[in-house]
Chains A and B, each alone.
Chain A
Amino acid sequence: MEKILLFISTIRWQDVVDISVNSYILFRFYVLFRGTNVFQVLVGMTVLWFLQRIAVSLGLIVTSWVVQGIVAVGAIIIIVVFRNEIRRVLQAKNLKSILWGLSYKTTTTPTEIIADTVFQMAARRCGALIVFPGKEDLSGLVQGGTPWKGLITKEMIASIFWPENPVHDGAAIVQGDQITFVGTILPLSERDDLPSRYGTRHRAALGLAEASDAMVIVVSEERGDVLIAKGNRLREIKQKQTLENNIREHVGTGAVEKRAARKEGLEITAAAMLSILFITGIWFSVSRGQDTLVSLDIPIDYINRAAGTEIVDTSVKSVSLVLSGSGALVKSITPDQVGVRLDLSKTTVGRNTFTLTSDNVSLPPGIVLREVTPSEIDVLIDETIKKKLPVQIDWVGKLSDNLILVDSVINPAQVEVSGSKRILEDIVTIYTEKVLLDELSGEGEISANLVLSPASLKIASGSKDKVTIQYLIRERE
Chain B
Amino acid sequence: MRCRYLLIWIVCVGVNLLFLLPFQTAKTVIGAEPSKLELFEALMCEDIFANAPRNPTAVFSIKRKKAVFFTSFSTVPQKLIIYHNWYHRDVPSAKIRLTLKPPRWSTYSSIELNKSDIGPWRVEITDESGNVLEVLRFSVTE
Which residues of A are in contact with B by a Cβ distance under 8 Å?
390, 392-399, 401, 404-408, 427-429, 431, 437, 476-477
Contacts A396-B141, A398-B141; A437 near B59 (Cβ below 8 A): yes
Residue B56 at the A interface, CB < 8 A? yes
Residues of B within 8 A of A428 (CB): 90
Q: Which of A392, A397, A398 contacts B122 (CB 8 A)?
A: A392
Residue B78 at the A interface, CB < 8 A? no
A476 vs B59: C-alpha distance when bound (angstroms):
13
B118 to chain A, nearest CB (A): 8
A311 vs B19: C-alpha distance when bound (angstroms):
55
Residues of B within 8 A of A405 (CB): 57-59
A13 to chain B, nearest CB (A): 60
Q: Which of B46, B58, B118, B120 contacts A408 (CB 8 A)?
A: B58
Q: Which of B46, B54, B58, B142 has the most CB of A within 10 A?
A: B58
* Nearest A-chain residue to B118, judged by Cβ: A396
* Nearest A-chain residue to B62, judged by Cβ: A398
* Nearest A-chain residue to B54, judged by Cβ: A477
A32 to chain B, nearest CB (A): 74
Contacts A394-B120, A429-B122; A406 near B57 (Cβ below 8 A): yes
* Nearest B-chain residue to A426, judged by Cβ: B90
Interface string of B47-62 (1 = CB under 8 A from A): 0000000111111010
Contact A395 B139 (CB under 8 A): yes
Contacts A393-B120, A394-B120, A398-B61; A476 near B55 (Cβ below 8 A): yes
Q: Which of A390, A393, A404, A428 has the most CB of B within 10 A?
A: A404
**Can you pick out 10 interface pairs between chain A and chain B where the beta carbons lie within 8 Å of each other?**
A392-B137, A394-B119, A395-B58, A396-B141, A398-B142, A401-B63, A404-B59, A405-B57, A405-B59, A429-B122
A405 vs B43: C-alpha distance when bound (angstroms):
13
Q: Which of B56, B90, B137 contacts A406 (CB 8 A)?
A: B56
A405 vs B142: C-alpha distance when bound (angstroms):
14
Residues of B within 8 A of A404 (CB): 46, 55, 57, 59
A406 vs B55: C-alpha distance when bound (angstroms):
8
A318 to chain B, nearest CB (A): 31
Contact B120 A431 (CB under 8 A): yes
* Nearest B-chain residue to A429, judged by Cβ: B90
A406 vs B139: C-alpha distance when bound (angstroms):
13
- Which 4 pairs show the lowest CB-CB distances between chains A and B? A395-B139, A405-B59, A392-B137, A395-B59
A313 vs B46: C-alpha distance when bound (angstroms):
43
A431 vs B89: C-alpha distance when bound (angstroms):
9
A399 vs B62: C-alpha distance when bound (angstroms):
12
A463 vs B55: C-alpha distance when bound (angstroms):
34
B34 to chain A, nearest CB (A): 30
* Nearest B-chain residue to A394, judged by Cβ: B120
Contact A393 B139 (CB under 8 A): yes
Q: Which of A394, A407, A427, A429 contacts B139 (CB 8 A)?
A: A394
Interface string of B24-66 (1 = CB under 8 A from A): 0000000000000000000000100000001111110101000
